[in-house]
Amino acid sequence: MSASNKPLNLKEVSRLLGVSTATVSNAFNRPDQLSEALRQRILKESAELGYHGPNLAARSLRKGKSDVVAVVLADTLSYSFSDPVASQFLQGVSEVLSHKKKQLLLLSSRLASKEQSSAESLPDGFIFYGAPKGDAFERISRSGKPIIAVDFEQGKVPSLNINNQAAARAVALHVIRESEERVAVVSLRLIASDRVCRLEKADLQAECKEVIAYNRLQGYLQACQEKGVDLPPHMIWHTPMNTPEMAEKAAYEALTITPRPTVILCMSDVLALGVLRVAQSLHIRVPEDLRIVGFDDIPEANRCTPSLTTVCQQSIEKGRIAARCLFDSDNPQAQLMETRLVVRRSSGDTH
């Protein structure tokens, strides 16, 4: 049989093969309904005709659903694959979708509509992970499909968050011992700058669109105030991306000033691990000469030496809850997950 230049549909293939449409459909979708010999013959002859199974998009239109759930990432796909917190979150989402026999589609809010409009039309529901860029949220919300907002809030859409300010305050209160401490902060993105830099007074007074970083900073500032410690803007290092390279650049600047900090509060474990590596390269003892804390509790936080005191925000469980929200209409409008302080060696504790 020669392959046709025109795409064939299920009905045409069944006619050409001399079998029912149900037989062809079962060969691709329900193999247990056919003998193995018949199924292999149908698949082989279908391939020779250039037919490789039912069209997912067309089938979705007929069924009214695709059994696909999209996670819309705030950052690019390449960055998100390198981010251990995003990986943990996606692990939790995938566990639930696998149990529900659903498929996962990853999208980025940084892409324009024309670049992924077809993909956006396919999912039955959307999990927005992180505050989206551009008009992705408005564009997708017009579809009327279920949406869950994770790590941000958006209008009447159900949301899932943690209390970043309270968690940051707790870890800072734990590591700051006395009012004479010299405290520095290595922060996530706080200002509209693509370079690692120290903040100025005006930066603290400006409106910040990066809500997570802003709330964590407020927690640190609150703890410092309670401990009687001064935390001036120039002791806060802004990093535009949560990457080891930028963490190390900020750390080198912070650890080569005089007098050197005795405590560094980091807004992520990735940043904290970068500070730890630079400290070790400069022969600064942790925790004897410098105490470091992070935020997230990624697996590496417990494997490094010394192990890292941090905040566990339950990223895998956050992914599970977010996915379940799409299938449960009884969820509260706004959910706040608990965090916990994880005490390890980098803060001077013996655990």
Domains in the chain: ranges and CATH: 10-54 (1.10.260.40), 66-157 (3.40.50.2300), 164-314+338-347 (3.40.50.2300)
Residue 159 · residue 150 · CB < 8 Å: yes
Residue 10 · residue 52 · CB < 8 Å: no
Residue 107 · residue 72 · CB < 8 Å: yes
Query: What pLDDT does residue 2 have?
Result: 43
Q: Quick check: 55 pLDDT over 50? A: yes
How far is Cα 1 from Cα 47, in angstroms, rounded to an integer?
10
Q: Is 215 helix (H, G, I), strand (E, B) or coil?
A: helix
Give the Cα-Cα-Cα angle 305, 310, 315 (nearest 5 degrees). Answer: 110
The phi, psi pair for 256, rounded to 5°, reads -115, 10
| pLDDT tens per residue, range 18-38 | 999 999 988 888 888 899 999
Mean pLDDT of 312-340: 92
Q: Quick check: 56 pLDDT over 70? A: no
Q: Is 60 helix (H, G, I), strand (E, B) or coil?
A: helix
How far is Cα 87 from Cα 104, in angstroms, rounded to an integer?
13
Query: What pLDDT does residue 4 have?
Result: 45
Q: Quick check: 146 pLDDT over 90? A: yes
Query: What pLDDT does residue 60 have?
Result: 57
Residue 196 · residue 249 · CB < 8 Å: yes
